[in-house]
């Protein structure tokens, strides 16, 4: 069975978070918030990294079940970590845990013991900051991710295949990304092909389409392009989506069109939950 390899310190897996940081990411995310898309995405990525750290924590030790790249593309293409990890393109999760850029104070609602909620201050680790500028060099970004994957796969031929989570709010400005995206999809381990999931977000209040099985409802050619280079969700990811109430079925692609803030958060949650973590 593909996508069934055990994930352990001796057999880790790899996540590439590939993030559009073009100028349009400076726009407000929809009509019901004042938060910019770039700010929201940075917040979701920081929460995702925090969740990955927690999942790899065993008896107060961070075990390197996961390695992570956070890559941005806009005015430049390259690593998007802030702080001590700035410039690093491939980082073990233990190093992520040890080196947040800073700890921010956040307000969180917790149970008060009497059936209600009370606000409390928590320290929230931040690894990347919002950035927006330049065009959308998607082909260059996919090429950067492909080269990272080739480096990883040269040393990790077995094990759960790497997962690329790509988020964008626009069309590629440096050509059709299909060719290089298909090169990513052609990479594999003995457990299966590399997974590429794509999430499109918009400033417009329009219908979102989540995890479709075909392109018939997609309104634009660029949306169909991203759909056609999105992996079919393997069974562990279908279970993860169903577990949080998402309508995913056998044959659903890892693709979201016109995603809203909830969709984006769920996209990263589903995409970082492979099975068989030891």
Q: Per-residue pLDDT averaged across 121-134, rounded? A: 91
Cβ distance 206 to 197 under 8 Å? Answer: no
Tell me the whole-structure pTM to 2 decimals: 0.92
Cβ distance 89 to 71 under 8 Å? Answer: yes
Kindly give the pairing relationship between strand 57-58 and strand 13-20: unpaired
- The rounded distance, in Å, linking the Cα atoms of 134 and 81 is 18
Please choose, from the candidates 84, 59, 66, 60, the residue with its C-alpha nearest in 3D space to the C-alpha of residue 17. 66
- Between 168 and 206, the higher pLDDT residue: 168
- The rounded distance, in Å, linking the Cα atoms of 96 and 47 is 12
Domains of the chain: 13-271 (3.40.50.410)
pLDDT-based confidence at residue 145 (cuts at 50, 70, 90): very high
pLDDT digits (tens, 9 = 90+) for 58-83: 887 899 999 999 999 999 999 999 99
Q: What is the DSSP string of 95-108?
A: HHHH--SEEEEEEE
Cβ distance 17 to 248 under 8 Å? Answer: no
Q: Could you give the percent of the chain with pLDDT greater than 90?
A: 74
SS3 content of the chain, % helix, strand, coil (to 5): 30, 25, 40
pLDDT digits (tens, 9 = 90+) for 149-199: 999 999 999 999 999 999 999 899 999 999 999 999 999 999 999 999 999
Query: Does pLDDT of 23 surpass 90?
Result: yes
Query: In sequence order, what are the beta bridge partners of 78?
Result: 72
pLDDT-based confidence at residue 113 (cuts at 50, 70, 90): confident
pLDDT reported for residue 168: 96
Query: Does pLDDT of 210 surpass 80?
Result: yes
pLDDT reported for residue 240: 87
Measured distance between the N- and C-terminal CA atoms of the chain, rounded to whole angstroms: 18
Query: In sequence order, what are the beta bridge partners of 19?
Result: 72, 167
Query: Does pLDDT of 110 surpass 70?
Result: no
Q: Could you give the percent of the chain with pLDDT greater than 70?
A: 95
Q: What is the DSSP string of 77-128?
A: EEE---GGGTT-S-EEHHHHHH--SEEEEEEEEEE-SSSSEEEEEEEEEE--
pLDDT-based confidence at residue 247 (cuts at 50, 70, 90): confident
């Amino acid at each position: 069975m593909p996508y069934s390899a055990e994930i352990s310190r001796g057999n880790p897996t790899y996540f590439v978070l590939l993030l559009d940081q073009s100028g349009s990411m400076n726009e407000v995310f929809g009509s019901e918030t004042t938060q910019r898309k770039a700010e929201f995405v940075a917040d979701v990525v920081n929460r995702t990294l925090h969740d990955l750290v927690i999942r790899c924590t065993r008896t107060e030790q961070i075990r390197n079940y996961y390695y992570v790249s956070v890559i941005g593309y806009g005015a430049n293409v390259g690593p998007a970590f802030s702080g001590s990890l700035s410039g690093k393109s491939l980082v073990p999760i233990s190093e992520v845990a040890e080196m947040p850029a800073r700890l921010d104070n956040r307000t969180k609602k917790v149970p008060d013991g009497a059936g209600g909620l009370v606000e409390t201050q928590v320290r929230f680790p931040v690894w990347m900051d919002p950035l927006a500028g330049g065009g959308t060099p998607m082909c260059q970004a996919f090429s950067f991710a492909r080269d990272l994957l080739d480096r990883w796969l040269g040393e990790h031929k077995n094990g759960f295949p790497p997962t690329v989570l790509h988020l964008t709010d626009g069309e590629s400005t440096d050509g059709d990304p299909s060719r290089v995206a298909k090169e990513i999809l052609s990479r594999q381990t003995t457990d299966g092909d590399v997974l590429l999931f794509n999430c499109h977000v918009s400033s417009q209040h329009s219908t979102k389409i989540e995890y479709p099985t075909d392109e018939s409802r997609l309104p634009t050619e660029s949306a169909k392009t991203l759909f056609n280079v999105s992996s079919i969700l393997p069974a562990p990811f279908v279970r993860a989506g169903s577990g949080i109430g998402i309508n995913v079925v056998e044959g659903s692609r890892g693709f979201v069109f016109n995603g809203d803030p909830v969709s984006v958060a769920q996209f990263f949650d589903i995409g970082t939950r492979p099975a068989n973590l030891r």
